[in-house]
Chain A
Amino acid sequence: MSAKDLSSHAQSDLNKDILKNSERKEHLTFIGLSLPAILAILIVVFLPIFWLSSLSFYSSSGDLSSENYARIFNSSLYLKTFFVTFQISISVTLICILLGYPLCYWLTRLPNKWSAILMVFVLVPFWTSVLVRTYAWLVLLQRNGVINSALISLGIIEEPLQLAHNLTGSIIGMVHIMLPFLVLPLYAAMRNIDMDLVRAAKGLGCSPRSAFWRVFFPMSMPGLFAGVVLVFILSLGFYVTPALLGGGRVQMLAQRIESTITVYSNWGAASALGVVLLIISLAMIWLMHRAFGLDKLFMR
């Protein structure tokens, strides 16, 4: 071994401490930069949730009790609210799938230029206030609104249809508002599907229909799942549209929470409802995840 080899051997710790220091500094900078955001999330999101859920365990007289939860499961009024909430959320989600899936499929088949233009049509309502859109539906759907008068003048119906101030009106309005939430993730997922896969399936003997169901549809499942979860969870806690288009006859969970606080000032009962809604939402995501075996699909 030459002298040079020996010396380089002895100095294999060259700059070791300096490099270690610079690595630690980089870590600290990273933590320092993300700390404000972490704190903000803790204070703005987790603290209120924690505080709210702790409220639900106190009775109106201030004692620690489970009466708020007992009331939810014993009162038929509350149970009916839960039933209506699920009925609307499931209907809205299903209708969104039926409308949104073919729309997305069609958009992905179009040349880029056209699909970009059509995406704007999906997004413009998305950027308009929910309140404005809901009132617009009220104008269209009410007893002597545009749709009813058009149908009567065409002689299709004699009596105006009851489209607003009921379940139907709430669902129509909510589908309109929820559709972009399904379309956006689904369209992104479909765009990423390698069309060579569909071509390969056809080359291997699949008819166009079978290639769609065996290859394209399973590949679009992660996007569909993301959209369905968004729409369903948002629907569970939706307030404005059912409150206006339901005409007071449709009571969803969010409205019940609102009236519990504004009318009865019962914070304990309201927060118990909120906690149950949160638990149901998480349970739904977990159930859907299990049912569709999504861990399998997300693996690429």
Chain B
Amino acid sequence: MKSTVQSLPISLTDLSKHYGLVKALDKVSLDIAAGEFLTLLGPSGSGKTTLLMALAGFVRPDSGSIIFGENEMITTPPHKRGLGMVFQSYALFPFMTAAENVEFPLKIRGISKAEQRIRAERALETVQLQGFGDRRINQLSGGQRQRVALARAMVFEPRIILMDEPLSALDKKLREHMQIELKALHDKLDATIVYVTHDQREALTMSDRIAVFNNGRIEQIETPERLYRRPNSFFVADFIGESVSVPVEVSSNIAKIQGLSLKTNLPILSGRGGYKLIIRPELLQLTSNKVPKTSNDLSGHVHDIIYQGDSVLVIINCELTGLINARIPANRVGQKGIPSKGEWVGVALHPEDTIIVPEQVS
């Protein structure tokens, strides 16, 4: 369904919204490129949904500016913003069939009955629901409803599509399948997509960039890989991925644990509060030999071993840091390297993987 319309960039400046004393949005500024897949990620109550609702026009901000392309939208009512929107509850009209739901936005736009039918059929085909048009909504499964909602949001070729946790009601397997499909759909459509989720894995899978929200502010906005490998604060490092954090002393750009300096090739960003070393399980290297001089040495005795199917989690009681987790892939090579409980094991952390973050961004 490649269209002639061009996707639109979005520019937000100093957007604020208070609910009583709670700052849902605290002077948020954000530029979203045309055609970008941007995810707003954060815990519940962090402001991500409020921002999406402000974009859609359902929440009136206290101050700030919302620009689509060249046009200021801050007071434009929802029905004149021309957005496609997918709700968490799907919000399909229960008294209409799947096809009638998809035709709805075309009907509102005064498009002829014949063309409505053709375009709705094509949209249903895009989401792999050809032949399901005559079904009532209650005759569709969760995944199928999700697809109808998607078809309805894109059938009128909006230049911006907003999605509010659209996959959260699906089971894990279907959710992961839909993530890949949504990403493929985004490549096909010419639309800027703003996607809200609290699932960090979902965000990493689909996004061009991720904006991490905390207390109504954007903590960090980056590509998935950079966000994962170079978090700028403890909040981001802790929220994205699995990790154990250990407080460290930082002075003149050298981090130390109990007086022992850590080797790192990554810049140590300045910030407020203390500093922490972020230890991700998959970054640790287990060895029965001594840890090479070039890496950081976190060796210790094996405290516990947990089998998790795709991998094995080895919990190590390290003298320097306390309990840390190391992950070994559950393949043949990995199996050989599994130590036994109580055994001493060498643990290496490469300087490229040594992440040290401030408690808060300055």
CB pair A204 B94 closer than 8 Å: no
Asked if B83 is at the interface of the complex by the 8 Å CB criterion, the answer is yes
CB pair A194 B89 closer than 8 Å: yes
CB pair A210 B108 closer than 8 Å: yes
CB pair A202 B78 closer than 8 Å: yes
* Cross-chain contact of B85 among A200, A206, A207 (Cβ < 8 A): A200
CB pair A196 B89 closer than 8 Å: yes
Look across to chain B and name the residue whose beta carbon is closest to the beta carbon of A205. B108
CB pair B79 A197 closer than 8 Å: no
* Cross-chain contact of A218 among B82, B88, B95, B105 (Cβ < 8 A): B95
Look across to chain A and name the residue whose beta carbon is closest to the beta carbon of B109. A205
Asked if A125 is at the interface of the complex by the 8 Å CB criterion, the answer is no
CB pair B93 A215 closer than 8 Å: yes
CB pair B87 A200 closer than 8 Å: yes
CB pair B87 A196 closer than 8 Å: yes
Query: Knowing A199-B58, A200-B85, A204-B108 touch, does A300 contact B91 (C-beta < 8 A)?
Result: no
Asked if B286 is at the interface of the complex by the 8 Å CB criterion, the answer is no
Asked if B186 is at the interface of the complex by the 8 Å CB criterion, the answer is no
Look across to chain A and name the residue whose beta carbon is closest to the beta carbon of B162. A203
Asked if A284 is at the interface of the complex by the 8 Å CB criterion, the answer is no
Asked if B156 is at the interface of the complex by the 8 Å CB criterion, the answer is yes
Bound: A171/B89 CA distance, A: 44
Chain B at the A interface: mostly helix, strand, loop or mixed? loop
- Interface-central residue, B87, B91, B109, by most chain A CB under 10 Å: B91
B94 contact set on A, CB distance < 8 A: 219, 299-300
Asked if B316 is at the interface of the complex by the 8 Å CB criterion, the answer is no
**Range class of the A interface residue count:** 20 to 34
CB pair B95 A196 closer than 8 Å: no
CB pair B95 A206 closer than 8 Å: no
CB pair B138 A199 closer than 8 Å: no
* Cross-chain contact of B91 among A196, A208, A218, A297 (Cβ < 8 A): A196
A219 contact set on B, CB distance < 8 A: 94-95
CB pair A205 B79 closer than 8 Å: yes
B109 contact set on A, CB distance < 8 A: 205
* Cross-chain contact of B105 among A194, A199, A205 (Cβ < 8 A): A205
**Range class of the B interface residue count:** 20 to 34
Interface string of A180-219 (1 = CB under 8 A from B): 0000000000000010110111111111101100010011
Interface string of A272-300 (1 = CB under 8 A from B): 00000000000000000000000011011
CB pair A206 B93 closer than 8 Å: no
Query: Knowing A196-B89, A205-B79 touch, does A297 contact B95 (C-beta < 8 A)?
Result: yes
Say how far A215's CB is from chain B's closest CB, in angstroms.
6
Look across to chain A and name the residue whose beta carbon is closest to the beta carbon of B83. A203
Say how far A269's CB is from chain B's closest CB, in angstroms.
46
Bound: A88/B156 CA distance, A: 49
Interface string of B255-272 (1 = CB under 8 A from A): 000000000000000000
Look across to chain A and name the residue whose beta carbon is closest to the beta carbon of B88. A196
Query: Knowing A205-B105, A210-B108, A299-B136 touch, does A199 contact B93 (C-beta < 8 A)?
Result: no
Bound: A194/B89 CA distance, A: 9
* Cross-chain contact of B104 among A194, A204, A208, A297 (Cβ < 8 A): A204
Asked if B348 is at the interface of the complex by the 8 Å CB criterion, the answer is no
CB pair B82 A300 closer than 8 Å: no
CB pair B85 A203 closer than 8 Å: yes
CB pair B79 A202 closer than 8 Å: yes
- Interface-central residue, B77, B78, B93, B108, by most chain A CB under 10 Å: B78
* Cross-chain contact of A199 among B78, B82, B136 (Cβ < 8 A): B78
Asked if B152 is at the interface of the complex by the 8 Å CB criterion, the answer is yes
Asked if B66 is at the interface of the complex by the 8 Å CB criterion, the answer is no
Asked if B56 is at the interface of the complex by the 8 Å CB criterion, the answer is yes
Look across to chain A and name the residue whose beta carbon is closest to the beta carbon of B138. A300
A196 contact set on B, CB distance < 8 A: 87-89, 91
Say how far A194's CB is from chain B's closest CB, in angstroms.
6
Bound: A204/B85 CA distance, A: 8
Interface string of B77-120 (1 = CB under 8 A from A): 11101111101110101110000000011001100000000000
A197 contact set on B, CB distance < 8 A: 91, 93
Say how far A166's CB is from chain B's closest CB, in angstroms.
42
- Interface-central residue, A196, A210, A218, A297, by most chain B CB under 10 Å: A196
Bound: A13/B152 CA distance, A: 53
A296 contact set on B, CB distance < 8 A: 95
Say how far A219's CB is from chain B's closest CB, in angstroms.
7
Bound: A199/B77 CA distance, A: 11
CB pair B79 A200 closer than 8 Å: no
Bound: A218/B83 CA distance, A: 24
Bound: A297/B136 CA distance, A: 11
Say how far A142's CB is from chain B's closest CB, in angstroms.
48
Say how far A182's CB is from chain B's closest CB, in angstroms.
22
Bound: A200/B94 CA distance, A: 13
CB pair A204 B152 closer than 8 Å: yes
B91 contact set on A, CB distance < 8 A: 194, 196-197, 199-200
- A-B CB contact pairs (8 Å), 8 listed: A199-B58, A200-B87, A203-B79, A203-B81, A207-B79, A208-B79, A215-B93, A296-B95
Task: With A204-B79, A204-B156 given, name 6 new contacts (CB 8 A).
Answer: A199-B78, A200-B87, A203-B56, A203-B84, A205-B79, A207-B79
The 9 closest A-B pairs by CB, nearest first: A200-B91, A204-B105, A203-B85, A196-B91, A205-B108, A202-B78, A202-B79, A196-B87, A300-B94
Q: Which A residues have a C-beta under 8 Å from some C-beta of B?
A: 194, 196-197, 199-208, 210-211, 215, 218-219, 296-297, 299-300
